[in-house]
């Protein structure tokens, strides 16, 4: 096991050369040693409940059709069980020690030690350069602020009343791929920041996974976009002549009224806000 202590390096200005061993490293080493035993025990538990998953998967196949892969359904269900088991070990509010700061500080101390015979004189701050840096930061901040103010969430597309049970939606990942941006995950949200997107919660994702609109993602984020908004983008100048656009990738679907109402509340909360 790693002994956690302060490490003082030799050399000039050694009082600044202090690093800390990350406790997570020790715990992860122990986890790696015990992982095979954990896996055996976990598989024993899943074998105990396997018949329930198997019966449910075969029932789904009978109701939906032969295109359903029972083995994949069972695997997805098992992964979902593991994801939901995380609630047994809630994350603490205590911040983890930053290993990045440790590395930077250690590297700086090594550079100091490597130049024992020739100490490097301190650089004096130039008042003029400091003022220029300050002006630059103000200009950047002002530019960012102006850019943010230009993106408004308003107009007919941000009217919650436009959403109803007949509205159709698409997964953000599919819309991203349909518009030819599949190689850059989530680019559609950056390029079109004024586009309404709804973050699906656990109940929403469970409903979507049960109806095969998406795979069980566990704790991963899943966004829904309005199909009409994506179709409008595809007809615009940015995409209408683009060979990478494949709108058949969208696979739109409807959602129940209770999910529509949640989307309406989310749109109301996001409307007329700046990014």
Same domain, 58 and 160: no
pLDDT of residue 3: 54
What is the number of H-type helices and E-type strands within the chain? Answer: 9, 5
Residue 115 has pLDDT above 50, yes or no: no
* Domain-embedded: residue 47: yes
**Does the pTM of the predicted model rise above 0.75?**
no
For the CA atoms of 248, 253, 259, 260, the dihedral, rounded to the nearest 10 degrees, stands at: 80
Strands 6-8 and 197-199: unpaired
Total number of domains constituting the chain: 2
Domain of 44 in residue numbering reads as: 23-88
Residue from 222, 227, 262, 238 nearest 157 by CA: 227
Helix (H/G/I), strand (E/B), else coil: 77: helix
Instruction: Using the 3D structure, point to which of 68, 88, 108 is the last residue of a domain.
Output: 88
* Domain-embedded: residue 131: no
Instruction: Using the 3D structure, point to which of 66, 88, 110 is the last residue of a domain.
Output: 88
Instruction: Using the 3D structure, point to which of 70, 88, 106 is the last residue of a domain.
Output: 88
> If pLDDT is split at 50, 70 and 90, which confidence band does 5 have?
low
């Amino acid at each position: 096991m790693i002994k956690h202590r302060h490490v003082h390096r030799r050399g000039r200005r050694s009082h600044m050369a202090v690093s800390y061993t990350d406790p997570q490293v020790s715990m992860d080493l122990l986890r790696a040693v015990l992982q095979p035993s954990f896996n055996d025990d976990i598989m024993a538990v899943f074998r105990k409940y396997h018949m329930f998953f198997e019966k449910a998967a075969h029932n789904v196949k009978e109701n939906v059709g032969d295109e359903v892969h029972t083995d994949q359904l069972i695997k997805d269900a098992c992964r979902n069980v593991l994801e939901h088991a995380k609630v047994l070990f809630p994350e603490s509010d205590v911040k983890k020690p930053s290993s990045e700061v440790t590395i930077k500080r250690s590297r700086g101390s090594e550079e100091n030690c490597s130049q024992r015979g020739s100490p490097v004189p301190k650089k004096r701050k130039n008042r003029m350069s400091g003022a220029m840096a300050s002006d630059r930061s103000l200009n950047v901040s002002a530019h960012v602020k102006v850019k943010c103010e230009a993106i408004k969430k308003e107009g007919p597309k941000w009217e919650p009343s436009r959403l109803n049970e007949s509205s159709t939606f698409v997964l953000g990942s599919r819309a991203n791929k349909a518009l030819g941006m599949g190689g850059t995950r989530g680019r559609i949200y950056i390029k079109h920041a004024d586009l309404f997107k709804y973050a699906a919660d656990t109940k929403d994702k469970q409903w979507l996974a049960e109806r095969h609109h998406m795979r069980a993602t566990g704790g991963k984020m899943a966004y829904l976009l309005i199909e009409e908004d994506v179709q409008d983008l595809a007809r615009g100048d940015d995409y209408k002549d683009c060979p990478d656009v494949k709108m058949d990738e969208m696979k739109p679907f409807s959602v129940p009224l209770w999910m529509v109402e949640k989307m309406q509340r989310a749109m109301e909360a996001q409307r007329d806000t700046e990014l």
